[in-house]
Structure 1
């Protein structure tokens, strides 16, 4: 390619790079692990920009050139941002199962009143939920799980080519399915704490019947918290293993993953 040909192709390449960044950058802002609120926006922006030169050479032949009308350019960029937020949001919704499980577990072991700010939920949540949410982010980064949604993003150009209408119906169905899978996973992760709370409450009920003079409430609260924290320590490796295997299976079902 001559210098004149390169200069003539630069506007088209620049527009294609902006299209790729619109989808990649929007997704990185909400992806689990890479898009955590604790990660500075400048770092997330740098990650999105860094992905552009990696994927643009392979995608450039199938990307549209810069349109003559500004309205068409805005439409293309808006669609790319929506697609990126949609795919990144699906992955985020699946990983939120760990935080929801922490909320359930905190209620079961008596820590529901210990609240801390949580940027993920947009308000205060239990300290246990916050801790488990951070553990999920650490798991994403330490095991390489973050690469699976990124691979789905690259593959999404074959499923949702640039310029095609956004499939709103299928997108809504995918969000509902991801929400159901996330809730089911959260219930599975919190199941040991639910069973433990039921067993302990039954035991306390029998104690109250057998020894009415005993102040069951004052005995139960510290015992419930200690037993719950001990159960958490015992179950945490298994919970992380279940989360890892479940997320790998669910990320494989993201648009563009296959």
Structure 2
């Protein structure tokens, strides 16, 4: 082996190992990251994106990663910890897309649109699909790749390489983020739920006053039409509120909501 080959191997040994360790965490994040981790994205594209993010993040966090030494068991534990940290970060970010999906499902159920416009083979009604696809486009156009890279770099401060947070801290963090996502979902769908409730109460009063009138045949089309009109009016506002919450979670994904 020539001196040049020895120098190249010596130069690649450290950075290559660091990049591999970073790739473990980022690969787990990319599996759940909205837009980049969707099932519609081919696996080769997702792999290329994970490698691209690794090339960006690895130089920034190289000083914070100390490769494990000693036995093979130490390496295995290190790799498992990095994968778990990546999955935890990806899951928290993914929760906010699931919150929008849940809001679309609640709104569709309130407006009697979930059965009429249901998409064959998909668990979401068409309204939820509209919200999710619009949110993904909005997030990508507003620089999701930059914010995601920043969150990945920040993760090495909150979740040091090779370590897993304690059970109590992990429970408070995940439960807090889940409760925040559920609250966001119900807040976004609240106009549809309130409007549907008031409308059905009014139909009940009309039915009591005029028992011979078939309120179901009269009220169902009006409820559906009203839900579509409300969708056209409220969708931009809902997406704006969701984008604000999504930007906040990417800016500080490790905050524990109270």
TM-score normalised over the length of structure 1: 0.89
* Corresponding residue number in structure 2 for 1:216: 215
Kept after mapping to 2: 8 A contact 1:32/1:91: yes
Choose which of 79, 82, 85 in structure 1 pairs with 2:81.
79
Higher mean C-alpha deviation, range 78-87 or range 9-18: 9-18
Q: CA deviation at 1:66?
A: 6.0
* 2:124 match: secondary structure: strand
Q: CA deviation at 1:248?
A: 1.9
Structure 1 distance, partners of 2:200, 2:72, is 65
Kept after mapping to 2: 8 A contact 1:64/1:162: yes
* Corresponding residue number in structure 2 for 1:240: 239
* Corresponding residue number in structure 2 for 1:116: 119
Kept after mapping to 1: 8 A contact 2:18/2:65: yes
Higher mean C-alpha deviation, range 64-73 or range 99-108: 64-73
* 1:37 match: secondary structure: coil
Q: CA deviation at 1:157?
A: 1.1
Rate the CA distance shift 1:33–1:192 in 2: closer, same or farther, 3 A: same
Structure 2 distance, partners of 1:117, 1:13, is 48
Q: CA deviation at 1:117?
A: 5.8
Kept after mapping to 2: 8 A contact 1:102/1:129: yes
* 1:125 match: secondary structure: coil
Describe the superposition over 1:18-53 as per-residue Cα deviations: whole angstroms up to 9, x where unpaired.
Answer: 100001111011011211222122211111111122
Q: CA deviation at 1:151?
A: 1.1
* 2:252 match: secondary structure: coil
Query: Any residues of structure 2 matched to 1:128-207 within 5 Å, and which?
Result: 128-207=127-206
Structure 1 distance, partners of 2:227, 2:158, is 45
Q: CA deviation at 1:131?
A: 2.4
Structure 1 distance, partners of 2:11, 2:20, is 14
**Residue segments in structure 1 that go unaligned for 5+ positions in a row:** none
Kept after mapping to 1: 8 A contact 2:57/2:152: no
Q: Does 1:88 align with 2:87?
A: no
Kept after mapping to 2: 8 A contact 1:17/1:56: yes
* 2:161 match: secondary structure: coil
Q: CA deviation at 1:212?
A: 2.1
* Corresponding residue number in structure 2 for 1:106: 108
* Corresponding residue number in structure 2 for 1:21: 23
Report how many aligned residue pairs link the two structures.
251
Higher mean C-alpha deviation, range 31-40 or range 229-238: 31-40
Kept after mapping to 2: 8 A contact 1:91/1:149: no
Higher mean C-alpha deviation, range 137-146 or range 187-196: 137-146
Higher mean C-alpha deviation, range 101-110 or range 149-158: 149-158
* 2:32 match: secondary structure: coil
* 1:163 match: secondary structure: coil
Q: CA deviation at 1:146?
A: 4.8
* Corresponding residue number in structure 2 for 1:53: 55
TM-score normalised over the length of structure 2: 0.89
Q: CA deviation at 1:225?
A: 0.8
Q: RMSD between aligned alpha carbons?
A: 2.1
Higher mean C-alpha deviation, range 128-137 or range 163-172: 163-172
